[in-house]
């Protein structure tokens, strides 16, 4: 079988497509014939050894997949060969077959396409955990989403609207704002690309305040960091919640903590991957809730582009360029 492997530290151009032995299911495991792989920002980081986890090489990137159960190991009762599933894993998905702990598998409806299933779990799971568990977003509150046209950003937009919130989409271009509004956002802000000088940061803070209204944003969902974080925090409401989701724009921002004091706000970390490992029962419950929302038509992954496995490195590079909107998916025939 073929797999896209990281054998040395580097960018997408260092990945190689090679034949490796097919995996065998051990006790508690299942072998999956992979149909589609969702590409996420951690895939950009992990091959450069910039992610929180550094797997031993060689390894395949790819943290979420959909496919069909090929075989199961001893003691597996929750799935059987032929089941259509989705799975979240730290890495390894960019391969024709993978072995996965069976308790990480979730069966999917027959009506759910494989590409949407592969684009579902990490983005909606992250945003659901952020908005429900960490922010406790309430109906009628105002949410500002930075990076609103990306995978997790669009998921946050849709979920917040399903929760009854007012949503302001922050994006780098008008085209991206238009996409976020088409997916449910109430209004948008084009913030352009940094870096910003002090005057530029103040001007951006004013744009966020104007869009959010006189009370500011009750919750800010920040998946991009860098120079956008401080202006966004300056637009937060009294006792608001600032969600630290990721740093897709590059640098990790340094926040003046006097802003947290003056705003009486919470700065809240969102590390969905670690949360799923520490709370497996709540993780499974959240998946059921999300699949219910999908069945009701309240959420639906926006897959903007498909790449074959032979061009999997291009898919990762495209996501890393910050030009992608929604989800990028690698399909495996």
Give the domain ranges of the chain: 2-120+301-331, 124-273
pTM: 0.89
Domain 2-120+301-331 identical in fold to domain 124-273: no
Instruction: Give per-residue pLDDT as tens, 100-137.
Output: 999 889 999 999 999 999 999 999 999 999 999 999 99
Instruction: Give per-residue pLDDT as tens, 18-61.
Output: 999 999 999 999 999 999 999 998 899 999 998 888 999 999 99
User: What is the pLDDT of the chain when averaged over all its residues?
Assistant: 93
Bridge partners (DSSP) listed for residue 143: 167, 219
CATH superfamily of 2-120+301-331: Medium-chain alcohol dehydrogenases, catalytic domain (3.90.180.10)
Are 221 and 245 in contact, with CB atoms under 8 Å apart?
A: yes
Calpha distance 116→309 (Å, rounded) = 17
The DSSP call for residue 253 is P
Q: List the one residue out of 58, 69, 131 whose CA is nearest residue 92.
A: 58
Q: What is the pLDDT of residue 182?
A: 95
Look at phi and psi of residue 229 and say left if phi exceeds 0, alpha if psi is from -120 to 50, else beta: alpha
What CATH number belongs to 124-273? 3.40.50.720
Percent of the chain with pLDDT over 70: 100
Burial letters 248-261, b for 16+ CB under 10 A, else e: bbeeebeeeeeebe
pLDDT above 90 (res 194): no
Calpha distance 90→53 (Å, rounded) = 8
């Amino acid at each position: 079988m073929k797999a896209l492997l990281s054998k040395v530290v580097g960018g997408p151009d260092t990945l190689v497509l090679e034949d490796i032995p097919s995996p065998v299911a051990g006790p508690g495991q299942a072998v999956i014939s992979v149909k589609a792989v969702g590409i996420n920002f951690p895939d950009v980081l992990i091959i450069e050894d910039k992610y929180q986890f550094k797997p031993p090489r060689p390894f395949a990137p790819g943290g979420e997949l959909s496919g069909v159960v090929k075989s199961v190991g001893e003691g597996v009762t929750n799935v059987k060969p032929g089941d259509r599933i989705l799975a979240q894993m730290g890495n390894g998905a960019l391969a024709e077959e993978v072995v996965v702990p069976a308790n990480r598998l979730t069966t999917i409806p027959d009506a759910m396409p494989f590409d949407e299933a592969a684009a579902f779990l990490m983005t909606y799971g992250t945003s659901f955990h952020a908005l429900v568990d960490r922010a406790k977003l309430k109906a009628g509150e105002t949410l500002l989403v930075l990076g609103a046209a990306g995978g997790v950003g669009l998921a946050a937009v849709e979920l917040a609207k399903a929760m009854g919130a007012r949503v302001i989409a922050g994006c780098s271009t008008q085209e991206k704002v238009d996409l976020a509004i088409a997916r449910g956002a109430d209004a948008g802000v084009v913030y352009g690309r940094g870096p910003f000088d002090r005057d530029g940061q103040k001007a951006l803070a004013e744009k966020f305040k104007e869009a959010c209204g006189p009370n500011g944003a009750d919750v800010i969902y920040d998946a991009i960091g860098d120079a956008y974080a401080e202006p966004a925090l300056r637009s937060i409401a009294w006792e608001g919640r600032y969600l630290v989701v990721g740093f897709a724009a590059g640098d990790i921002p340094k926040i003046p903590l006097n802003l947290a004091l003056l705003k009486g706000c919470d700065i809240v970390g969102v590390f969905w991957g670690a949360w799923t490992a520490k709370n497996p029962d709540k993780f499974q419950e959240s998946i059921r809730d999300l699949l219910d929302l999908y069945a009701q038509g309240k959420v639906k992954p926006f897959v903007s582009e498909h790449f074959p496995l032979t061009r999997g490195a291009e898919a990762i590079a495209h996501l890393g360029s910050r030009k992608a909107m929604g989800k990028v998916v690698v399909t495996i025939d």
